[in-house]
Structures are given as C-alpha cells and as structure tokens.
Amino acid sequence: MTQQMEKTQPKSYNGRHLLEVEDLSVHFFTRRGVARAVDGVSFYLDEGESLGIVGESGSGKSVTALGLLRLVPPPGEIVNGHVYLEGEDVTELSGQQMRRIRGRKISMILQDPMTSLNPSFAIGGQVAEAISIHQGLRGKSLKAKVIEMLKMVRIPAAEERLGDFPHQLSGGMRQRASGAIGISCTPKILICDEPTTALDMTIQAQYLELLKDVQKETGVSFIFITHDMGIIAKMCDRVNVMYAGRVVESGNTRDVFHNPSHPYTISLLKCLPRLTAVDRLESIEGQPPDPHLFPPACRFAPRCPKAQDICREVYPETTAMPGESHVAACHFPGEWDK
C-alpha cells in the first residue's frame, strides 16, 4: 500500500486566472522508493495567453501536464496540490466529471503523432470522436465540423483526407491532424507537449505560425512544454523554468531571457548556439539528480559552479526580481555572470 501526502487545504479561489496550479506534487511509487517527479509546482495561465514550460529531460514538464489533465499513469499519483480551471478544482472531480472536461475545456497535443494517433482508424474518424462525445453532432453536421477543423489546421483537400490513415500522411500533416483533434471542441487551454520534435525546421516554423493563427481565431490559451528555448522566445508570453521537479525561475519571457537570475536558467541560455560564436558550445556539467534521491537543499547545487555552503544546506526561498512577475528560487538571484 502506498503512502500519500495529505493534500493541502485549498485556499479561496479569487477567480483572477483561467488556470491556477497550487503546490502540485506528482509522485511515482516504485520498488526503489518514491520518485518525486513533480514536487510542489505552482503557476497560473490567463485567457489568450501562452505559457512555456522549459527544462531538461526529466525535469517534470510532461508529468506536470499529465497532472493538469488527471492522466498520470500508474504507479504515479497526484499526492498534493490543487488545479483550478475556471475556478473549479479538477483534483477533486470524479473520473466521469473529468472526462467531460478533457477535450472540451482543456486538451493536449502529444509530441509524437505516430504514437498518439491510432494507426487503425482514419483521420476523419479520430477527429470526429471528440466532437461527437462533447458536442453531440452526428451525420452530415459532424462531417462538416470535422472538415472545418482540418481546414483550420490547413490540411489541403480536407474532405479527401477524411479516409486517410496516419501512415498515409507526412510528418507535418500528422502533426496538423493531432492539432485538429486538440482544438476540435474549442478548448479554453491547449497543452502542446514538444509539438515540433519530429518536424524539420521549415515545417516547424510553419506549424508554429499555424498555432499562432489558431490562437487568434479561437482565443485558446497555450501551454508549450519544450526543451527548445527558440520556441519559448517565439511563442510564449511567460515562461517557467523547471529543474528536478520544481519551478526555479518564472516570469515574462523577455525578462527571463534578457535578465536570467537563476544559475540554471543562465546555464541553459549559454548552451544555445550564437551566430557570432566561434568556440564550442557550452554544456552543463553533470546530470540532473535522481528523483528518488533529491537533495534536501538546492537541487541544482551539485552542478552549479557558484554554489556555496548554504546552497547545499537549505532550499532557497523564491525571490522577486525586477520586472512584472519575475521570480527565482535562488539564495543569490541575479548575482551570477551572464
């Protein structure tokens, strides 16, 4: 039998944000012990806004998204925290109530359409499924809605593509078909998990422009989960930088990129190629910590070249930085060489 943390009592919701995540923790109970994949994450998302969640593989980005959707696979469990969607705490809903929300209020585009799309069913049928469930359309009206969605994501000859199977589409078209499923019921929030991983640079740029157009047309709010800082810079109003299950820095994208205040964020930005650089790319020494064995103090301290004794002894408080909503969890925020 697994032991769960007692959930925090929900604070009174003030209704300011479309989505508000409060102290979310998702743990995996394994034979090795408890893996704290997401360990006290808090953030918010407003209507029509784009939020980026960035970090190395294993930082907890995708598990955070699955937590929002209540789709964490076993042996993972949401052990703490609250997720308010339009003021309603989805962590308290039943499975049936949650199924009514997924697709209709909050939806997700997975990173690999070859695995997220069912190879045994035609594209038209897969787009139609969510529309039929949430909007109750049938027959000609359902077919017309499916064609409308395929046209919205710019799939050419949409009516002729209804009977195509995933393997008959190019990578870019498969990604667009996944997007059509994601937006088919006009959700308030669309989570894009590494949406351009399988695309070449040209198709990637086209797809990102497509998502911008979809946002203008529908007003949907985006959460982009990625390790690509370029996507964050191009698409996101604000960014959360995650490391070892926690948000270590967050704020307006421009503030964070131009004035990074956490050494991990600074290290990530230094890894990016520059047109004027002639030396080899920098890298971050070491590896992220094992989620079964997170250190009790700053989790980046073992890899931080500027770490001091207090960094290895006490987890830092979150400090407000210059700029609206820009904060960093560091004992010495903003004191590092950029």
pLDDT of residue 154: 87
Same domain membership, residue 286 and residue 193: yes
- Residues 55 and 163 occupy one common structural domain: no
In a domain? residue 29:
no
Tell me which residue range forms the domain holding 276: 48-69+188-329
Q: Report d(CA 249, CA 247) in Å as an integer.
A: 6
| CB half-sphere exposure, 67, CA atoms < 13 A | 32
Asked whether residue 137 is assigned to any structural domain, the reply reads yes
Q: Which of 170, 186, 202 is a domain's end point?
A: 186
Do residues 151 and 225 both lie within one domain?
Answer: no
CB contact burial 184-196 (16+ within 10 A = b; e otherwise)? bbbbbbbbbbbbb
pLDDT at site 6: 45
Show the low-confidence residues of the chain (pLDDT under 50).
Answer: 1-13
Same domain assignment for residues 164 and 245: no
Residues 6+ apart with CB under 8 A from 180: 127, 149, 150, 152, 153, 155
Q: Could you tell me if residue 19 is inside a domain?
A: no
What secondary structure letter does DSSP report for 260?
Answer: -
- Are 259 and 278 within one domain? yes
Separation between Cα atoms, residue 83 and residue 88, nearest integer Å:
8
Q: Please state the pTM of the whole predicted model.
A: 0.88
Buried b (16+ CB within 10 A) or exposed e, 32-59: eebbbbbbbbbbbbeeebbbbbbbbebb
Q: Which of 151, 186, 221 is the last residue of a domain?
A: 186
- Judge whether 207 and 195 are in contact, CB under 8 Å: yes
Q: What is the CATH classification number for the domain harbouring 197?
A: 3.40.50.300
Q: What is the pLDDT of residue 189?
A: 97
The reply to whether 306 falls in a domain is: yes
- H/E/C letters for each residue in 54-88? ECCCCCCHHHHHHHHHCCCCCCEEEEEEEEEECCE
> In this structure, are 182 and 206 located in the same domain?
no
Query: Same domain for 196 and 317?
Result: yes
Radius of gyration of the chain (CA): 21
In the chain, the DSSP E strands lie at 19-30, 33-45, 50-54, 76-85, 88-89, 106-109, 189-193, 221-226, 238-243, 246-252, 318-320, 327-329
Distance CA 236, CA 230 (A): 10
Domain match, 220 and 170 both: no
CA–CA separation, 149 and 162 (whole Å): 11
265, 271, 278: which is closest to 321 by C-alpha? 265
Same domain, 170 and 208: no
Q: For 38, left (φ over 0), alpha (ψ -120 to 50), or beta? A: beta
Q: Which H helix or E strand runs over 130?
A: helix 123-135
pLDDT of residue 300: 96
Please indicate, yes or no, if residue 165 is contained in any of the structural domains: yes
CA distance 39 to 314: 16
Distance CA 284, CA 270 (A): 9
In a domain, 74, yes or no: no
CA 257 to chain CA mean position, Å = 18
CA of residue 117 relative to chain centroid, distance: 19
Residues 168 and 297 in one domain: no
pLDDT at 198: 67
Query: What is the spatial distance between Cα 35 and Cα 29, in angstroms, rounded to a whole number?
Result: 6
In a domain, 130, yes or no: yes
Host H or E run for residue 157: none
- pLDDT of 286: 86
Overall number of domains in the chain: 2
**pLDDT of 69:** 95
Burial class (CB in 10 A: 0-12, 13-18, 19+), 262: buried
Say yes or no: 200 and 180 in one domain: no
User: Is there a domain that residue 288 lies in?
Assistant: yes
Nearest to 79, CA basis, from 30, 12, 34: 34
Whether residues 309 and 205 share a domain: the answer is yes
The domain boundary, picked from 186, 202, 231, lies at 186
Sign of the alpha-carbon dihedral angle for 98, 104, 105, 111: positive
